[in-house]
C-alpha cells in the first residue's frame, strides 16, 4: 500500500511566497487603484471607476498569490507562466465583478464588512481557482477541489481584511489576508501534491 508523501518544507515555502506576495502587491494595489479609478470617473462615470479599480486590485492580489508560488510549482511540473498569467487574468475579472456589483447595487459606504468580505472572496477566489486549475491539470495534479479551496481562502481573507482595515491599518489588514491565503492554500497544495505522488507511485 502506498502512503501519501507530504512535503512540508515545500508547503512552508509556498505559504511564505503567497503570504508575502499578497501583502506586498495588495499594498501596491491599494496605493494605486483609487487614483486610477478617479481618472476613469472623470470621463466614464462612477461605476466604471469602481470596475477599473477592482480589476487592478484583483489582478495585483492574484499576482501576489501566484508569482512566488508559480516559481515554486515549476519544480512540480506546473508551467509557471500559465499559473501566473491565468491567475492575474482571473483575479482582474473577479475584482472588476466584485467592485462593480457593490457599486451598482448598493451604497458602498453602507455595505456590511461581512457581506463585502464574502462578496469579494467569492468573486476573486472562485475565478482565481478556476484559472489556476487549468495550469494544475496540465501538470497532472488532481484539482477538482482547488476552486473551492481558493474561494474559501479568499472569503476568510477578505472578511478578516475588512475587519482589520481602516486608515493607517492597511498593512495589518493586508498582512492578515496574506497569512490566511497562504496558510489555507499551502496546506491544500501539499495535500494535492501528495495525492499526485501517490497516484504516480501506484
Domain map of the chain by residue range?
8-197
pLDDT in tens, the chain (202 residues): 455 677 899 999 999 999 999 999 999 998 887 777 677 666 767 777 888 888 999 999 999 999 999 999 999 899 999 999 999 999 999 999 988 877 776 555 666 777 778 888 999 999 999 999 999 988 877 678 999 999 999 999 999 998 887 777 888 999 999 999 999 999 999 998 887 654 444 4
Distances (CA, A) of 106 to 48, 95, 101, 111: 15, 16, 8, 7
pTM for the whole structure: 0.87
Cα–Cα nearest to 12, from 187, 198, 141: 187
Q: What angle do CA 157, 158, 164 make, to 5 degrees?
A: 90
For 75, residues 6+ apart whose C-beta sits below 8 A from its C-beta are: none
Q: Given CA atoms 135, 141, 144, 150 in this order, what sign does their dihedral have?
A: negative
Amino acid at each position: 500500500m502506498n502512503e501519501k508523501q507530504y512535503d512540508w518544507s515545500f508547503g512552508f515555502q509556498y505559504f511564505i511566497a503567497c503570504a508575502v506576495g499578497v501583502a506586498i502587491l495588495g499594498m501596491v494595489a491599494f496605493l494605486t487603484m483609487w487614483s486610477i479609478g478617479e481618472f476613469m470617473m472623470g470621463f466614464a462615470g462612477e461605476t466604471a471607476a469602481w470596475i477599473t479599480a477592482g480589476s487592478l486590485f484583483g489582478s495585483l492580489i492574484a499576482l501576489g498569490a501566484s508569482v512566488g508560488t508559480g516559481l515554486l510549482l515549476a519544480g512540480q511540473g506546473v508551467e509557471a507562466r500559465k499559473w501566473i498569467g491565468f491567475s492575474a487574468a482571473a483575479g482582474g475579472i473577479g475584482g472588476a465583478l466584485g467592485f462593480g456589483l457593490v457599486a451598482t447595487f448598493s451604497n458602498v459606504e453602507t455595505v456590511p464588512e461581512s457581506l463585502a468580505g464574502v462578496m469579494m472572496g467569492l468573486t476573486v477566489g472562485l475565478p482565481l481557482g478556476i484559472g489556476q486549475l487549468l495550469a494544475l491539470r496540465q501538470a497532472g495534479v488532481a484539482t477538482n477541489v482547488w476552486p473551492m479551496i481558493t474561494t474559501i481562502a479568499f472569503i476568510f481573507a477578505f472578511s478578516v481584511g475588512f475587519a482589520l482595515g481602516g486608515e493607517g491599518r492597511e498593512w495589518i489588514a493586508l498582512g492578515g489576508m496574506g497569512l490566511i491565503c497562504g496558510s489555507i492554500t499551502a496546506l491544500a497544495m501539499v495535500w494535492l501534491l501528495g495525492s499526485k505522488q501517490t497516484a504516480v507511485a501506484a
